[in-house]
Structure 1
Amino acid sequence: MVVSTSGIRPTRTAYLHVDYRKITPIEEPLTAQGHISSVDGRKVFIDATMTTADGSVLSEANGLMVHLLPHQP
């Protein structure tokens, strides 16, 4: 997973935890939403959910992304 937006240096996943709440249906529209919950120096903490069209939560995730240093690929 990579968190990247215009003008912000790239990150890499340091930690990712997913709670699977329900079986994910196939051939059905799903919505994935994520946001940055906090930033501490190079650390970017994220939260995300995946839901069905009727709003049922299929999975919830949280993670830690770390901004790369200039010399890191």
Structure 2
Amino acid sequence: MRSIDLTTVTWRKSSYSNQDGGACVEVADGFTAVVPVRDSKNPSGPALTFAVGGWSSFVSAVKDGELSA
């Protein structure tokens, strides 16, 4: 598995994140094959990377209400 350098990326908060500081997910754009994702409350913690197709399917499922808490 290849390591991805995320030290200089710009993170953006998901539009589905809670704006009062809770449940915040951030993603980094600019990668062709993966989407890095992290917890904004722990920016120095680990980031997960998802294949672009898998992330796209997940986002579509959230938008379509297919996932419930």
Structure having the larger proportion of residues in strand: 1
Q: TM-score, normalised by structure 2?
A: 0.32
Q: Quick one: higher RCO (CA 8 Å, sep 6+), 1 or 2?
A: 1
Question: Could you tell me the TM-score, scaled by structure 1's length?
Answer: 0.30
